[in-house]
Chains A and B, each alone.
Chain A
Amino acid sequence: MFRRYLLRRLVHVIVLFAGISAFSFVLLELAPGDFLGEAKLNPQMSPATLAALREQYGLNKSLGQKYLSWIGSAARGEFGISFAYNLPVSKILRPRVSKTLQLTLSSLLLSWFIAVPLGVWSAAAHNGFVDRAVGVAISALLATPDVVLACLALLMAVRLRAFHSANPVLPVAVLTLGALPILLRHVRAALLDVANQPFAQVARANGISGAGLWFGCLLPAAVNPLTSLFGLSVAGLISSSLLVEVLLGWPGVGPLFVEAIAARDFYLVVDSVMLSALFLSGGTFLADILLYVFDPRIRMEL
């Protein structure tokens, strides 16, 4: 049963990918100008050279031909050629992805390690001082755009003269602060949802209290929404750090993507979008599997 479910999800992801790539290619066709737009203005470029370059880059092909040749290239593991770097896109993206994952994985771990205990504490002290303080912090952080957090981090770096752009501490801190409010909110809400259910009252009546109650009984019961949330965290591994990378000069996928947009480096743009979409669908897929592993109630339903 579960295998069939997995298979259906897999087909779903493939269809989704076909949709996203087709969507990007249609947008390409609608776009005015291309990578050689600037070269056209250069008086030293003869029309013959331009035509040869267009031929070489495959810019004069029709939409369908471009799409097919991109799929062929993807099958060879190249995913198209970057015009600006004159290299297969996969070669350019690989080191960038590992740089981005350095940031996002560490902030993912850090934010979950902070959010779960703090969320439990806040739920256990419902309406108490800690809960109120956490609530205020959550709404303040929610209203603070990543841009502002990154600016403050930069300001701190400049004032302290302690960090340079190769140091991951600042970007990780900014990403963690950006992710925390949403995580905390959900952890707290999920725990409060189960805190007054009959099984929790039975546990309390049997004298289970404190950490044993919250971490032993209530957290496993609240695992369902939290697993979906974890899937969302994984889904954002590539895309969530774009702004922070651009602002703090971290050589990840984000700055590459923005550069590629400015240079009309088409395949690089498409592949970056596809990559982030891959992580997004991968994250939800992972959440489904984890849910099956962690939550016996789901296994009964399937």
Chain B
Amino acid sequence: MKQLVLVPRLTTTILIVLHVTILLAGFLAPYDPAMQNRTSPLLPPIGVHFVDTLGVFHLRPLVRSAGRTPDYPLRFFVSGSTYRFLGLWTFRTHLFGVEEPGRLFLLGTDEFGRDQFSRILWGGQVSLLIGWLATLLALGIGLALGSVAGFFGGWPDAAIMRGAELFLALPWLYLLLAVRAFLPLSLPPHATAMILTVIIGIVGWARPARLVRGIVLSARERDYVSAARGFGASSWHLLRRHCLPETYTVLATQATLLIPQFMLAEVALSFIGLGVGEPAPSWGNLLAPLRQIPILASAWWMMAPAMLVMVTSWCFLSLGDVFVHGET
């Protein structure tokens, strides 16, 4: 019983912290995700420490850069590269950073010397956004078509359900890739992200549609719905007021399954080079350098995005488990 309370609390806390962190990527990341330092590719993570090269203790954290003798003090609320919050407001203030010749690479650098920590934060925005938007799209289409099919029956029902079977019969990764095949290969990253979202969302509508249809089909036959119909309620009113509310828990459960699934779809596609392209970071294309054996074998910090992907999907999935067991 105790575990039943602990796990959802833990996962929701992690998820909230994660989403806020990712949302504030521009403020928390010390550097622009596209900024390259060609002289320092694939640097391992450099931590902060409190004792300088002479062995003197300082209260202010110090950053030691490779090859540079002096230590640079870590400063808070520094002015750095400009970034846009939510794509609307422009800021220059970063939570922390070091003075210019010094560099702070908390999670090392990639093969172009870009700060991995900043890229992971910014990449999370792309990956999570694709997961959420594609889920909203899939659930939206599923809800609309499923409720029409369940409530009205007849030929719309038959047509929609045959369509759903078609989509369920196609292996979804193949379908995703096939649809992607018919789009231009090189697109600006934001266009690709949007297109990916739409493709993933459209490919994923069938399962929610079938679930919604089943629920609406049974809800339609309830006595209180018949009573309301007898009092002259319109179809739209019956559907909206009496049938759809019953689908909400199923939709929430589906969302906790679909968000990580769609996020992983982005990761998989970007990883094999058919998803979000450079220079924009996403969790998938951040992992792409691991396809080169030397990087995989020696640069362990390049695996960091995988940890975040796993934690995120674990949180969503166990939240979904709680929903499922809460229902029964």
Residues on B with beta carbons closer than 8 Å to the beta carbon of A48: none
Which residue on B lies nearest to A23, using beta carbons? B166
* Interface check B192, CB cutoff 8 A: no
Are B297 and A273 interface neighbours, CB within 8 A? no
Residues on A with beta carbons closer than 8 Å to the beta carbon of B162: 15, 19
**Segment of B96-104, B108-116, B286-294 engaged in the interface with chain A:** B286-294
Smallest beta-carbon distance B286→chain A, Å: 11
Interface size on B, residues (CB 8 A): 41
How many angstroms from the CA of A233 to the CA of B175 in the assembled complex?
18
Are A159 and B297 interface neighbours, CB within 8 A? yes
Question: A239 touches which one: B165, B171, B260 (CB < 8 A)?
Answer: B171
Which residue on B lies nearest to A145, using beta carbons? B264
A-B pairs, 5 with minimum CB distance: A239-B171, A31-B182, A143-B314, A261-B181, A143-B313
* Interface check A133, CB cutoff 8 A: no
Question: A16 touches which one: B169, B290, B310 (CB < 8 A)?
Answer: B169
Which residue on B lies nearest to A278, using beta carbons? B169
How many angstroms from the CA of A143 to the CA of B185 in the assembled complex?
30
How many angstroms from the CA of A151 to the CA of B260 in the assembled complex?
19
Given contacts A16-B165, A146-B268, contact A280 B181 (CB under 8 A): no
* Interface check A148, CB cutoff 8 A: yes
Provide the main secondary structure of the chain A interface.
Answer: helix
Q: Which residues of chain B from 223 to 278 have any CB-CB distance to chain A below 8 Å in the complex?
A: 260, 264, 267-268, 271-272, 274
Residues on A with beta carbons closer than 8 Å to the beta carbon of B87: none
Q: Tally A-B pairs: CB < 8 A.
A: 118
* Interface check A20, CB cutoff 8 A: yes
How many angstroms from the CA of A145 to the CA of B127 in the assembled complex?
14
Question: B274 touches which one: A140, A247, A261 (CB < 8 A)?
Answer: A261
A-B contact pairs, 18 of them (CB 8 A): A19-B166, A24-B178, A27-B182, A28-B182, A31-B182, A32-B184, A142-B314, A143-B310, A147-B264, A147-B306, A154-B293, A155-B296, A159-B297, A236-B171, A243-B268, A270-B178, A273-B175, A273-B178
Residues on B with beta carbons closer than 8 Å to the beta carbon of A151: 287, 290, 296, 303, 306
Q: Which residues of chain A from 128 to 144 have any CB-CB distance to chain B below 8 Å in the complex?
A: 139-140, 142-144
* Interface check A262, CB cutoff 8 A: yes
* Interface check B318, CB cutoff 8 A: yes
How many angstroms from the CA of A242 to the CA of B264 in the assembled complex?
14
Which residue on B lies nearest to A260, using beta carbons? B181
Are B296 and A158 interface neighbours, CB within 8 A? yes
* Interface check A276, CB cutoff 8 A: yes
